[in-house]
């Protein structure tokens, strides 16, 4: 069969060893919409040995060659030009055949004389290929290929052998990918379900044409062999590129697999016949040839959402509001199944979960595609990889382009260092305040001062002709030139982002082109902003503590200098944190200030927002602002924290609103008193009294029994399951003893047992007082209806 040129959008890359030869396997979609498999036999695993400067290179190479074993011969050992932390090094590239053998060779090479370090032996083979051949997934590429006879092994339309990767294709829009969302319900008459004993009762799914299906267990039983078979068949018929689930890596997939195992059924839903899903890196479950995307991972990153349940997240994305959907508590599911009159409600509930999952998938997908194509992470691993790992994949790609060797992962002890400055706020209500933010302060500091492990030097003599930057306070020195690794990477990211934002102007904001570009510029910003934190992370390959310390030191110096400039211009500074300054706004002057900063500090500062009023207490990181359009911004206070009851939060927000909106303190006092009365009369619904806190470690590792720990223990003793990261919702009930002795999971509490005095003393009054205290209001005033002091006295 002849050669041809093929444009392919890469879904995923993996490898197989076929008759002692490694094959890179590329799963993709071609420009005609065929699902294809490309096989590249030309790539071989390798790693590097860095030698001492005075090493006899050829002799060392010969010794390494002698390590060769027949099962995976060493095919090449040769000196290559590479840099390590910016410096050219004496380095041998060692190539073999079988990827798994790299680990053995690495250990043996380490023991050879003159070998200082072994590098890049811990980079997985498929990633190695993606970097070296520049084949990031979620991108269109052009290959020269030869069609090969279709084997029966893969569920694809065509198979090809790669002769050459020509480059990127000129297609830029992602192809239309077939996607399905799925969700299961399981039978759990005894509380928490266990896959060994409790069958699946509903498997629901939906595709991109809007077609919905439900596979149901059979009565009596319930027996689930049939729905399991039907679901497998469904997936194979639909042949989706993407499967969206919600918490599917931790629940649905392993559960379905365990159920299949009980019937001797293969959960064979991938594009490679007979291959079941398997646990992979970062807690992900991978399905061969398809992209299994667990949307829960993305929800975890949304800090505005406290409870990451599917209904809450779907509401957040505007897919389905919680009030208009069917909600069944998890412990009621078996009952709804058993009761034939209620079963339709359960079916509706299940389908709404599927629709929600699909909707979230569609919202997340454009962003995930951009992160995938930039970092090289397969789309299905974008969610499960941490921020640090995402950036690291990007850095590895860049390092290769620069001829830079990748440092090894190392175990290091945690080392704390000094962070940013936070100014003491001026307490009180201030009018007309501009919040000014330095744009991307840390990335710009890293660029400006060329900070990184490769530009760092020990003493001034080594500064060279161009000289050094010296970090304030810590005194670390960084060569001004040439540009270091971090600087080059960040400049590339920011330049790319600027050009994309320029290009966006050409398009209608509603167009698909605009949306794609917008997601891409967001992804670039996220990667740039992660660089500083990454550098200070002990687990990072490019970890560099002095660099992270220097960044925060220059950050502190920059903001301090900006304050001096502001003061010299007669601008009053109310507050500041890390990269922001709150200044008294006067038109013209703030703009002039921004100009001077840009001239003198070579950093951009911009007006982020203007508050008609802003209120501070003595506390840092807490304020309330009244925006120009009359909205209220609450920062740091209890009202925006997840670990206070809804009631306390509501009251604090309302108090803030009354004070900033009307200046009427007496009105706020009256409001608080009325809530106290309602509480005493038992008129507040229990949901508003629940306090949510996270379990962060195994229960027996807690030093003291905090209320949420105690509530978790009760939950456990009653058959519930507790995992690290779970949020525990509890209320305080009447009785004697410590608060923790009276903390109960709210699901077990009769509302009349709730202790109103706890909520008055520990929730409502403190939350209200946090703001009202500044206006001279005391606890007594809020508690008593009696007028020890006329309300009139508070009108300021």
Binding site for DNA (CB under 7 A): 281-283, 303, 306, 386-389, 416-422, 437, 529-530, 532-534, 536-539, 548, 552, 577-580, 617, 619-622, 634-636, 640-643, 692-697, 701-709, 727, 738-741, 762, 766, 770
Extended strands (E) in 450-567: 456-457, 468-470, 477-479
The Cα–Cα gap between 237 and 128 comes to 33
Give CA separation, 321 vs 164, 186, 205, 296, 359, in Å: 50, 24, 20, 18, 12
Q: How far is the CB of 567 from DNA (least distance, A)?
A: 20
Q: How far is the CB of 502 from DNA (least distance, A)?
A: 26
Residues 6+ apart with CB under 8 A from 522: 367, 370
Give CA separation, 548 vs 198, 490, 528, in Å: 51, 15, 14
Locate 308 and state its tokens.
């990451």
Cβ pair 479, 455 in contact under 8 A: yes
Cβ pair 759, 645 in contact under 8 A: yes
Helix axes of 343-375 and 512-535: crossing angle, nearest 10 degrees: 70
Cβ pair 687, 721 in contact under 8 A: no
Strands 580-584 and 573-577 turn out to be antiparallel
Q: How far is the CB of 766 from DNA (least distance, A)?
A: 4
Of 410 and 643, CB closest to DNA: 643
Q: CA end-to-end span of the chain, whole Å? A: 89
The Cα–Cα gap between 516 and 302 comes to 21
State the DSSP H helix or E strand holding residue 146, giving kind and residue range, or none if neither.
Answer: strand 140-148
Strands 179-186 and 242-245 turn out to be parallel
Of 24 and 634, CB closest to DNA: 634
Q: How far is the CB of 740 from DNA (least distance, A)?
A: 3
Q: Identify the CA nearest to 136 among candidates 436, 354, 372.
A: 372
CA 384 to chain centre: 8
Q: How far is the CB of 411 from DNA (least distance, A)?
A: 11
DSSP state of 480: S
How many helices and strands (H and E) does the chain possess? 22, 28
Of 57 and 387, CB closest to DNA: 387
Of 272 and 497, CB closest to DNA: 497
Locate 137 and state its tokens.
């997934």
Of 73 and 539, CB closest to DNA: 539
Cβ pair 533, 443 in contact under 8 A: no
Q: How far is the CB of 319 from DNA (least distance, A)?
A: 23
Q: How far is the CB of 270 from DNA (least distance, A)?
A: 23
The Cα–Cα gap between 348 and 334 comes to 15
Return the C-alpha torsion angle 325, 331, 334, 337, nearest 10.
Answer: -10
Q: How far is the CB of 1 from DNA (least distance, A)?
A: 43
Of 662 and 778, CB closest to DNA: 778
Of 185 and 579, CB closest to DNA: 579
Of 418 and 780, CB closest to DNA: 418
Strand order in the sheet with 46-51: 76-84, 87-95, 46-51, 115-119
Locate 526 and state its tokens.
């996220």
284 three-class SS: coil
Extended strands (E) in 410-509: 428-438, 456-457, 468-470, 477-479
Q: Identify the CA nearest to 236 among candidates 154, 355, 295.
A: 154
Of 389 and 479, CB closest to DNA: 389
Q: How far is the CB of 257 from DNA (least distance, A)?
A: 21
Q: How far is the CB of 627 from DNA (least distance, A)?
A: 13
Residue count of the chain, please give it.
Answer: 796
Q: How far is the CB of 399 from DNA (least distance, A)?
A: 19
Q: How far is the CB of 439 from DNA (least distance, A)?
A: 12
Q: How far is the CB of 495 from DNA (least distance, A)?
A: 21
Of 144 and 541, CB closest to DNA: 541
Q: How far is the CB of 698 from DNA (least distance, A)?
A: 11
Of 231 and 616, CB closest to DNA: 616
Of 418 and 506, CB closest to DNA: 418
Q: Identify the CA nearest to 460 among candidates 472, 478, 446.
A: 478
The Cα–Cα gap between 535 and 422 comes to 22
Of 267 and 692, CB closest to DNA: 692
Of 472 and 636, CB closest to DNA: 636
Secondary structure (H, E, C), 580-630: EEEEECCCCHHHHHHHHHHHHHCCCEEEEEEEEEEEECCCCCCEEEEECCC
């Amino acid at each position: 069969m002849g050669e041809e040129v093929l444009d392919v959008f890469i879904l995923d890359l993996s490898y197989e060893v076929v008759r002692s030869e490694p094959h890179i396997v590329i799963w993709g979609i071609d420009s005609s919409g065929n699902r294809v498999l490309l096989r590249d036999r030309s790539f071989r695993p390798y790693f590097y040995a860095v030698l001492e400067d005075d090493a006899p290179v050829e002799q060392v190479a010969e010794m390494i060659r002698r390590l060769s074993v027949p099962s995976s011969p060493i095919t090449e050992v040769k000196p290559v030009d590479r840099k390590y932390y910016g410096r050219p090094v004496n380095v041998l590239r060692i190539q073999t055949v079988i990827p798994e053998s790299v680990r053995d060779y690495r250990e043996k090479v380490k023991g050879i004389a003159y070998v200082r370090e072994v590098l890049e032996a811990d980079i997985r083979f498929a990633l190695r290929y993606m970097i070296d051949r520049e084949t990031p997934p979620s991108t269109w590429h052009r290959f020269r290929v030869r069609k090969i006879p279709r084997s029966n092994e893969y569920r694809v339309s065509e198979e090809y052998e790669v002769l050459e990767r020509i480059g990127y294709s000129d297609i830029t829009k992602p192809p239309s990918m077939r996607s399905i969302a799925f969700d299961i319900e399981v039978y759990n008459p005894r509380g928490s379900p266990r896959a060994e004993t409790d069958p699946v009762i509903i498997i629901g799914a939906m595709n991109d044409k809007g077609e919905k299906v439900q596979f149901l267990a059979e009565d009596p039983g319930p027996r689930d062999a049939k729905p399991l078979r039907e679901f497998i068949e469904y997936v194979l018929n639909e042949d989706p590129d993407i499967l969206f689930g919600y918490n599917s890596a931790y629940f649905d997939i392993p559960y379905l697999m365990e159920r299949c195992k009980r019937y001797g059924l293969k959960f064979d839903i991938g594009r490679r016949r007979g291959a079941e899903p398997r646990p992979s890196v970062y807690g992900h479950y991978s399905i061969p040839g398809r992209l299994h995307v667990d949307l829960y991972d993305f929800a975890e990153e949304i800090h505005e959402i406290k409870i990451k349940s599917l209904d809450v997240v779907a509401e957040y994305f505007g897919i389905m509001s919680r009030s208009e959907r069917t909600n069944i508590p998890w412990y009621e599911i078996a009952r709804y199944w058993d009761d034939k009159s209620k079963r339709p409600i359960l079916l509706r509930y299940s389908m709404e979960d599927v629709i929600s999952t699909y909707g979230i998938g569609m919202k997340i997908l454009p962003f995930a595609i951009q992160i995938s194509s930039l970092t090289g992470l397969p789309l299905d691993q974008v969610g499960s990889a941490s921020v640090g790992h995402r950036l690291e994949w990007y850095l590895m790609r860049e390092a290769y382009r620069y001829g830079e060797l990748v440092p090894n992962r190392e175990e290091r002890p945690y080392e704390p260092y000094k962070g940013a400055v936070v100014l003491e706020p001026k307490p009180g209500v201030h009018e007309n305040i501009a919040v000014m933010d330095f744009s991307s302060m840390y990335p710009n500091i890293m660029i400006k001062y060329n900070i990184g492990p490769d530009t760092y030097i020990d003493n001034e003599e080594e500064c060279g002709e161009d000289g050094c930057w010296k970090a304030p306070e810590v005194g670390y020195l960084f060569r001004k030139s040439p540009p270091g690794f971090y600087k080059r990477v960040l400049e590339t990211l920011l330049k790319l982002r600027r050009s994309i934002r320029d290009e966006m102007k050409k398009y209608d904001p509603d167009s698909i082109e605009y949306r794609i570009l917008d997601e891409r510029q967001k992804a670039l910003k996220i990667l740039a902003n992660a660089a500083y934190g990454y550098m200070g992370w002990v687990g990072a390959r490019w970890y560099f503590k002095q660099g992270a310390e220097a960044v925060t030191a220059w950050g502190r110096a920059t903001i301090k200098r900006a304050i001096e400039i502001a003061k010299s211009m007669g601008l009053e500074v109310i507050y500041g944190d890390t990269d922001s300054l709150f200044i008294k706004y006067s038109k013209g002057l703030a703009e002039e200030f921004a100009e001077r900063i840009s001239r003198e500090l070579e950093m951009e500062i911009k007006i982020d927002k203007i508050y008609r009023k802003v209120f501070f207490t003595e506390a840092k990181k807490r304020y309330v602002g009244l925006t120009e359009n009359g909205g209220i911004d609450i920062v740091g206070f209890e009202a925006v924290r997840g670990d206070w009851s809804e009631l306390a939060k509501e009251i604090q927000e309302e108090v803030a609103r009354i004070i900033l909106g009307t200046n009427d303190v007496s009105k706020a006092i009256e409001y608080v008193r009325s809530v106290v009365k309602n509480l005493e009369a038992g008129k507040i619904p229990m949901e508003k009294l629940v306090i949510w806190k996270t379990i962060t470690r195994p229960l027996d590792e807690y030093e003291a029994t905090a209320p949420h720990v105690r509530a978790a223990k009760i939950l456990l003793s009653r058959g519930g399951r507790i995992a690290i990261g779970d949020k525990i919702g509890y209320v305080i009930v009447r009785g004697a003893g410590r608060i923790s002795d009276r903390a109960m999971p709210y699901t077990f509490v009769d509302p009349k047992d709730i202790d109103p005095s706890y909520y008055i003393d520990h929730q409502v009054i403190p939350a209200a007082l946090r703001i009202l205290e500044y206006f001279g209001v005391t606890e007594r005033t809020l508690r008593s209806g009696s007028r020890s002091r006329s309300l009139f006295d508070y009108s300021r």
